[in-house]
Each structure stands twice: as C-alpha cells, then as structure tokens.
Amino acid sequence: MTKVKTLNVRLNPEKIVDKEILDYFDQSLIPKTTLVKTALIHEIERLKASGDPYVKDNLKASETPENELDSSFSAKERLRGGFSAFSDKDI
C-alpha cells in the first residue's frame, strides 16, 4: 500500500481561471475535482510569477528560447517552493 500525501495549498475560489487551463485539465487524465484543478492552477500561476523557465504562457513563449535552462535552480528547489506534494525522500 502506498502512502497518501497531503497538499497544503491556499485556495481562492473567487479567482477567475483561464478557460484554456480548465479545458486542458478537463481533457486530461487528472481527476476532475475542483480541489485538484484549483491546486494545480494556483501552482502553475505561482511558477509563472516566479519566472520558472519550464512554465510558459502564450505571451512569454516567444521571448524565452526553448533550450535555455536556468542552472541556478535545481529540480528539487523548483518542486519544493510552496507546493508540498513531494518529500525529500521522493526526489
């Protein structure tokens, strides 16, 4: 049996969410619960706001070269920032 991990995410139900993001989650294999969608959307927005090179929106996609990686952040640091879905043992 696997361990169940909890997500500590602050939710803002009044926020208007981009329809394209919701359509993506509706078409994916991710469970279609409001909590999961909202948590993932807030994490994507947080990563965009922090300038994560792996999260691109339509406006910034042409400005950032696809092969450019920011070596100052390790994958572990990127995953850790406020979204506790993984423990140090998992990474």
Structure tokens at 27: 């078409």
* Euclidean distance between CA atoms 27 and 37, whole angstroms: 12
- CB 43 within 8 Å of CB 70: no
Is the whole-model pTM more than 0.95? Answer: no
User: Identity (one letter) of the amino acid at 86?
Assistant: F
State which residues form the domain around 22: 1-91
For the chain, what is the domain count?
A: 1
In order along its 91 residues, the chain shows pLDDT tens digits of: 555 555 454 555 555 556 666 666 666 655 556 667 777 778 888 888 888 777 665 544 444 444 444 555 555 555 555 444 544 555 5
* Euclidean distance between CA atoms 82 and 91, whole angstroms: 15
